[in-house]
Amino acid sequence: MIRSHILVCGGTGCTSSGSHEVIAELNKEIEAVGLDKEVKVVMTGCFGLCALGPIMIVYPEGAFYSKVKPEDVKEIVEEHLLKGRIVKRLLYQETVEGDDVKSLAETNFYAKQIRVALRNCGVINPENIDEYIGTDGYMALEKVLTTMQPQEVIDVIKASGLRGRGGAGFPTGMKWQFAANAVGDQKYVCCNADEGDPGAFMDRSVLEGDPHAVIEAMTIAAYAIGASKGFVYVRAEYPIAVSRLKIAIEQAKEYGLLGEHIMGTDFSFDLEIRLGAGAFVCGEETALMTSIEGHRGEPRPRPPFPANKGLFAKPTILNNVETYANVAQIILKGPEWFRSMGTEKSPGTKVFALGGKITNTGLVEIPMGTTLREIVEEIGGGCPNGKKFKAAQTGGPSGGCIPASLIDTPIDYESLIQIGSMMGSGGLIVMDEDNCMVDIAKFFLEFTVDESCGKCAPCRIGTRRIYEILDKITRGEGEMEDLDTLEELCNHVKANSLCGLGQTAPNPVLSTLRYFRDEYVAHIVDKRCPAGVCKKLLSYEIDPEKCIGCTLCAKNCPVGAITGELKKPHSIDKSVCIKCGVCETKCKFGAISKK
Amino acid sequence: METVRIKINGREYDVPKDATILEACRSVGINIPTLCYMKEINAIGSCRICVVEVKGAKSFVTACVYPVNEGMEVVTNSPAIQKARKMTLELILSNHKRECLTCVRSGNCELQKLAVDLGVDKVRFDSSTGDRYPIEDSTGIIIRDNNKCILCRRCVAVCRSHQDVAVIGPNERGFDTHIACAFEKDLADVPCVSCGQCIVACPTGALHEKDETDLVWEALNDPTKHVVVGVAPSIRVHMGEFFGLPIGTNVEKKLPAALRRLGFDGVFDVDTAADLTIMEEGTELLERLKNGGKLPLITSCSPGWIKFAEYYYPELIPNISSCKSPQAMFGSVMKTYYAEKYGYDPADIFVVGIMPCTAKKFEVRRDDQKVNGLPAVDVSLTSREFARLIERAGLCFNDLPDEEFDPAFGVASGAGHIFGATGGVMEAALRTVAEIVTGKPCEPVEFHEVRGREGIKEATYDLGGTQVNVAVASGLANARKLLDQVKSGEKQYHFIEIMACPGGCVGGGGQPIQPASVTNFTDVRAIRAAGLYKEDSEMQLRKSHENPVIKELYDQYFEKPGSHRAHDILHTTYQAREKYR
Amino acid sequence: MKTLAELQAIREQMKNKMNIREESEAGTRIVVGMATCGIAAGARPVLTTLSEEVAKRELKDVLVTQTGCIGVCRFEPIVEVYEPGKEKVTYVHMTPEKARRIINDHIVNGQVVTEYTIGAAE
């Protein structure tokens, strides 16, 4: 009789922090104390609090242990499992309140979250189809296949107001309707799991934690539009997601939930995995399809739209992983339930990957319309080390930054567009006072320059020229008219590029220009980087009042830029200094500072 | 034709229902500039020069790919559009090696023209990146300077779609994207057939043939050399285009005048060699038909096709006629019969071919084309190089008097002339073969089923009671389609004509380059071909075997078609080639 | 290939196995003292029996959990029952048989088994 389940995160984050070793140790220790008939260890998908990994949760108590090392396991087994004494020292400290232990759901991190797409992540074993079925899995598919007409399915999705979670927010039901209306002997259903935004890992977590949810939804979509074949396009850099998806597809086939005559009906649907080779542009729908077809992953002009002429020139729908993760729930619980979350125009929830200068790095799912302040300050726990929040970047390299002054902006499709950013796939990178906004813009442009496919001229050449101007400014060689050129160029690339990559690539520049123009001006006019990031604009100086001539800085300077006699104040030759900052960190007297 | 009513720049027009905005505008006399667009094979919307405003669209749309629909409102020339095009062009120019004064395409460059038209008078961006690629000249025939490449991919499209050779494509990505062979291999080490279609497709000077005019100048100025020249069939309908004459104008009579004034010692017509080819090839066909030889017999005039076969269809080599190409036959006759008759040492004869072809430059270097150990042809120039020679010599081409080729090898039949168009070799052969088989005059003399612009044409003719199935393919993609059907047994033919270039030699890789603004809307090849067919139709002498020069040649030297001597001098062999080295 | 009925059976079975993972809100909690003293006195079979009975009877909102030393070691094994809005009931000197009766009488039928409570023992 199993009386306790220990759920250990097997997502990518926790895997890399050692959760598999923890699982092995748990199994060993549990067996050693003879509890293996009573306690079951379950590897699950991501819990969201990746910064605290490896993470485990012990039920029925719901005790949430974080940063568990293999050597902690013995104590947990002997104290908690055997004797029923929760090991408080290893608990996620947010769940400890004096002597009491509160539920994870009550912590700041989880309290404001509503888990729809992530509902099974951290709850079920993704490699066991029975556990998915046990959480009402494949019930939606059963409902659809046995009681609904294809058009009814589309109508439900339309009524729910579900919008594409990949970034652009196109109404999913409409997309399905177009493909259903299109005439074709063969239609395709595709899933975009080519998550490429730096710092984003929402889709990976869903695939790792709940792969059957995606399979079920794709099968429902196939039924709705009349497709018999599907592809999941997933990055090869997601080995765990790929392997779990493979297992899930095999299990679904074994259970007759994929393949010929699904659930004994006349409906058949086959699903294949295609691995992407890591090009960011392959997240763009037409490029993705071109890549599946076996060609160089480059976007195609639209029209024709994929709903009419997509993969192999057949009617095709492509939805993102997270979009699919909502579908079965909508079918089961109804569009009204879905609309009860989020906002009027952006119903439901959105998963965000919190990263950058934020305490609780990880994955959160919140109702649309939650303000940035709630996400950053309450859920995310604010910037670490008491630093001041400066801005947040949503939408990755396609998005824009949201300055602190707009921290009360509700996070939904329209509000973000209005302030010059975009939802994007869900990366949310937090910046504090130590981030230089020109440098941030340069960082994102460096990414898009590298990831531009090179097909259309404005993106291929324009992004590079934007980058060059930014680089010039961060080197202190900018002129004021560069700002005009920069703005003109950014608007041009936005308006003239072939695909979404180029059309959004200038957003980080335009939004920083809009909200942090003074920082650009400081770089150009004062030749100064206010955040102290741009190396060319920094200089290190020794305060002769504080320097005691210990020579430590001179000894550590890699280029010999520091000279001085023993016990006398030293000085830095700025023409030699490479601004590595070693002297500053080595000085025990705080005599060296950057200006 | 079904039409829709749309508004262009505020005025209403009825335009074809299936048209793109570009085609619709052009149909009512409004030109939208393009760089990457090539009708049917490169509608990729990548250069973004053809952007227009469409009412209700989220952003600018590219006219080359955007279909019209009823009630659409298009603006092609608003200030915003002009500014956008200008900026895109400025960006393209910032990454282009702007050495226009010394560029082979100066004056005939689509980019240059656009810069003038759109008024791009300065380039604000760092242009140092415009010179970062080494020049690819591994073949010594097709030269690629990626510093001038604007990545329109027209060359990639023709290589893939028209020729199904696909040896070039984009490598790397983003700003580092450049056109090259797979794994950065040299063009010489991949199965490129040297057809030169990429050159003709290029809007800039990024692709051009290796210029060999200096070799010709040198020979012309060498008193020890007897320099003879032969002009290919299609050249007479090509050259006028260089000198402002309408496309397809037949300038045959200006050619001998120009060549003599350039200093050539013998001024000949390769059409005569074309007639000779018919005699040899026709005989070969008859023999194979009679003696159960390998069929279908496939023509061998096109060196691009020959190289293609050697790479991709080595198993069909026994099917290919052993006849040398007309150019090689011309050179071979010059260095044997002609040398003997007029008392020249063959080693002192310098043979120049004027060809619509870059693959001919490859052909002249082949060992299997030699005659008595000497190259049959010493230099093969494209029509473009020939035009440069004329300009350099200061000849006012249009003002030259009409003259005739030298009679020793300058009389050709109409059959020889039509070699320049797809189906021409087939028709010429049929005229002669039919007559030999039936023993009666071939009437009517025209075989219309094998004419025209379609990529593959087929027909069945009754030759004295024998049904002969023939097929004609131009463009190697069509050739591949046809040959695969032959290989699978789906189709059975006796005789096949294959030309590497779409439309045959009038569309050759060495033809005058017309900008896409012309070729996208005008069937240049058909107009040129019409010039050849018109000349043929106006002639008395329309059959190769009636050509007096050819008769004399056999009487005095080769005895009869297919003789031992003819085989020795006029025939050759081919070899299977490894695709990648 | 599973039939719809088979799928439903899997679903029911898994639900029972997995409801342990839900954080029960205001339900009944049965807490077994599982410190050294409790285990030594035989708390483990009691805990197992309680868990089995709850599962067998498919009782929703009933959580069987363990705790450390409750402080009255001489009464071990001790089981405490917490029900929303009611006084805590403490059973002492527990055995698997007693455990079954508590589930049946107290948890299912709402009748506290007074004779096993700490009050009766004292």
- Residue A183, classed as helix, strand or coil, is coil
- Residue A35, classed as helix, strand or coil, is coil
CATH 3.40.50.11540 range(s) for chain A read: 129-338
Residue B410: HSE in the Cβ half-sphere, 13 Å Cα cutoff: 15
Q: Please give the pLDDT value at position C25.
A: 58
- How would you class A22 by CB atoms within 10 Å of its CB: exposed for 0-12, middle for 13-18, buried for 19 or more? buried
In DSSP notation, A435-461 reads: --HHHHHHHHHHHHHHH--S-SHHHHH
Cα gap A447→A443, rounded to integer Å: 6
Cα gap B35→B45, rounded to integer Å: 10
B175 touches chain A (CB under 8 A): yes
Q: For residue A8, is pLDDT > 60?
A: yes
Q: Do C11 and A123 touch (CB under 8 A)?
A: no
CATH for the stretch A437-524? 1.20.1440.230
**pLDDT, tens only, A206-247:** 999 999 999 999 999 999 999 999 999 999 999 999 999 999
Average pLDDT estimate for A31-54: 89
Instruction: Provide the total of helices (H) and of strands (E) in chain A, helices listed first.
Output: 25, 19
A239 touches chain B (CB under 8 A): no
Q: Do A449 and B51 touch (CB under 8 A)?
A: no
Which own/partner contact pairs does A565-573 have at CB distance under 8 Å and 24+ positions apart?
A569/A542, A569/A544, A570/A542, A571/A542, A571/A544, A572/A539, A572/A540, A572/A541, A572/A542
Q: Please give the pLDDT value at position B543.
A: 96
Q: Please give the pLDDT value at position C23.
A: 62
CATH for the stretch B108-207? 3.30.70.20
Distances C12 to A137, B491, B577 between C-alpha atoms, Å: 12, 64, 68
Q: Please give the pLDDT value at position C26.
A: 55
Measured between beta carbons, the chain B residues lying within 8 angstroms of A462 are 91
Tokens of B450: 């094998």
Q: Are chains C and B in contact at 3+ CB pairs closer than 8 Å? A: no
Distances A224 to A150, A175, A233 between C-alpha atoms, Å: 4, 11, 20
Measured between beta carbons, the chain C residues lying within 8 angstroms of A138 are 7
- Given a contact cutoff of 8 angstroms between Cβ atoms, the answer to whether A123 and A44 are in contact is yes
Q: Please give the pLDDT value at position C31.
A: 86
* Rounded (5°) CA angle B129-B132-B136: 145
Q: Do A296 and B170 touch (CB under 8 A)?
A: yes
Q: Do B60 and A498 touch (CB under 8 A)?
A: no
A492 touches chain B (CB under 8 A): yes
Q: Does domain C24-121 have CATH number 3.30.420.10?
A: no
**pLDDT, tens only, A457-506:** 999 999 999 999 999 999 999 999 999 999 999 999 999 999 999 999 99
In CATH terms, B3-77 corresponds, of 1.25.40.20, 3.40.50.970, 3.10.20.740, 3.40.1190.20, to 3.10.20.740
CATH superfamily of B214-570: Fe-only Hydrogenase (Larger Subunit); Chain L, domain 3 (3.40.950.10)
What mean pLDDT is reported for chain A?
93
Of A296, A453, A495, the CB nearest to B84: A495
Q: Please give the pLDDT value at position A34.
A: 85
- Spatial neighbors of B240 by CB under 8 A, at least 6 apart, are B246, B247, B248, B249, B250, B251
Collect the ranges in chain C with pLDDT lower than 50: none
- Spatial neighbors of B396 by CB under 8 A, at least 6 apart, are none
Closest-CA residue in chain A for B63?
A301
Measured between beta carbons, the chain B residues lying within 8 angstroms of A457 are 46-49, 88, 91-92, 150-151
Closest-CA residue in chain B for A500?
B59
A438 closest CA partner among A376, A536, A521: A521
Q: For residue A266, is pLDDT > 60?
A: yes
- Given a contact cutoff of 8 angstroms between Cβ atoms, the answer to whether B91 and B114 are in contact is no
Residue B149 to chain A, least CA–CA distance (Å): 12
- Given a contact cutoff of 8 angstroms between Cβ atoms, the answer to whether A391 and A431 are in contact is yes
CATH for the stretch A349-432? 3.10.20.600
Q: Please give the pLDDT value at position A53.
A: 87
Which own/partner contact pairs does A173-181 have at CB distance under 8 Å and 24+ positions apart?
A175/A307, A175/A317, A175/A319, A176/A221, A176/A224, A176/A225, A176/A317, A178/A305, A178/A307, A178/A308, A179/A225, A179/A227, A179/A306, A179/A307, A179/A315, A179/A316, A179/A317, A180/A150, A180/A151, A180/A154, A180/A224, A180/A225, A180/A226, A181/A307
Confidence of residue A111 (pLDDT cuts 50, 70, 90): confident
In DSSP notation, C7-64 reads: HHHHHHHHHHHHGGGS---SSEEEEEE-SHHHHHHTHHHHHHHHHHHHHHTT-TTEEE
Q: Do A452 and B173 touch (CB under 8 A)?
A: yes
Query: For chain B, what are the domain ranges?
Result: 3-77, 108-207, 214-570
Q: Do B45 and A456 touch (CB under 8 A)?
A: yes
Measured between beta carbons, the chain C residues lying within 8 angstroms of A60 are 20, 24, 63-65
Q: Do A492 and B59 touch (CB under 8 A)?
A: no
B318 touches chain A (CB under 8 A): no
Closest-CA residue in chain C for A250?
C1
In the DSSP assignment, the letter for residue B273 is: H
Interface with A, mutate which of B21, B91, B176 (most A CBs under 10 A) = B91
Q: Which residue has the tokens 């001179």?
A: A554
Measured from the Cβ of residue A457, the count of other Cβ atoms closer than 10 Å reads: 28
Phi/psi of residue A100, each to 5°?
-90, 150
Cα gap B250→B248, rounded to integer Å: 6
Measured between beta carbons, the chain C residues lying within 8 angstroms of A9 are none
Measured between beta carbons, the chain A residues lying within 8 angstroms of B88 are 457-458, 492, 496
Architecture of the domain made up of A129-338: 3-Layer(aba) Sandwich (3.40)
Measured between beta carbons, the chain A residues lying within 8 angstroms of C40 are none
Q: Please give the pLDDT value at position B268.
A: 98
Interface with A, mutate which of C15, C19, C23, C64 (most A CBs under 10 A) = C23
Chain A residues at the C interface, defined by Cβ less than 8 Å, are: 1-5, 7, 38, 59-62, 82-85, 103-105, 123-124, 130-131, 133-139, 142, 146, 254-257, 263-264
Of C4, C33, C52, the CB nearest to A1: C52
Phi/psi of residue B149, each to 5°?
-75, 135
Q: Do A450 and B66 touch (CB under 8 A)?
A: no
Q: Please give the pLDDT value at position A247.
A: 97
Farthest-apart Cα atoms in chain B, separation? 79
Q: Please give the pLDDT value at position B418.
A: 96
Q: Do A454 and B59 touch (CB under 8 A)?
A: no
Q: Do B87 and A452 touch (CB under 8 A)?
A: no
* Rounded (5°) CA angle A317-A318-A323: 115
In the DSSP assignment, the letter for residue B496 is: E
Q: For residue A1, is pLDDT > 80?
A: no
Of A279, A450, A456, the CB nearest to B46: A456
Query: For chain C, what are the domain ranges?
Result: 24-121
Tokens of A383: 């910037």
Domains B3-77 and B108-207 share a fold: no
CA B52, distance to chain mean position in Å, is: 34
The sign one gets for the Cα dihedral B270, B271, B276, B282 is: positive
Amino acid residing at B153: R
Name all chains with 3 or more CB-CB pairs below 8 Å to chain B: A
Residue A440 to chain C, least CA–CA distance (Å): 42
Alpha helices in A148-199 (DSSP H): 150-160, 172-181
Run means of pLDDT, 10 residues per run, chain B, 581 residues:
95 96 96 96 96 94 97 97 97 95 95 96 84 94 97 98 97 96 96 98 98 97 97 97 96 97 97 97 94 95 98 97 97 97 97 98 96 96 98 97 96 96 96 91 91 95 90 98 96 97 97 96 96 95 96 96 96 96 87
What ipTM describes this predicted complex? Answer: 0.93
Q: Does domain A4-109 have CATH number 3.40.30.10?
A: yes
Of B51, B91, B175, the CB nearest to A449: B175
- Residue A178, classed as helix, strand or coil, is helix
From its phi and psi, is residue A235 left (phi > 0), alpha (psi between -120 and 50) or beta?
Answer: beta
A111 touches chain B (CB under 8 A): no
Residue A306 to chain B, least CA–CA distance (Å): 15
Q: Do B174 and A463 touch (CB under 8 A)?
A: yes
Interface with A, mutate which of C10, C46, C59 (most A CBs under 10 A) = C10
A485 touches chain B (CB under 8 A): yes
Identify the CATH class of A540-594. alpha beta
Measured between beta carbons, the chain B residues lying within 8 angstroms of A454 are 151, 170, 172-177
In the DSSP assignment, the letter for residue B222 is: -
Q: Do A301 and B51 touch (CB under 8 A)?
A: no
Q: Which residue has the tokens 């990055």?
A: A235
Residue A467 to chain B, least CA–CA distance (Å): 11
B380 closest CA partner among B521, B139, B211: B211
**pLDDT, tens only, A129-150:** 999 999 999 999 999 999 999 9
Residue B125 to chain A, least CA–CA distance (Å): 7
Residue B12 to chain A, least CA–CA distance (Å): 23
Name all chains with 3 or more CB-CB pairs below 8 Å to chain A: B, C
Q: Please give the pLDDT value at position A452.
A: 96
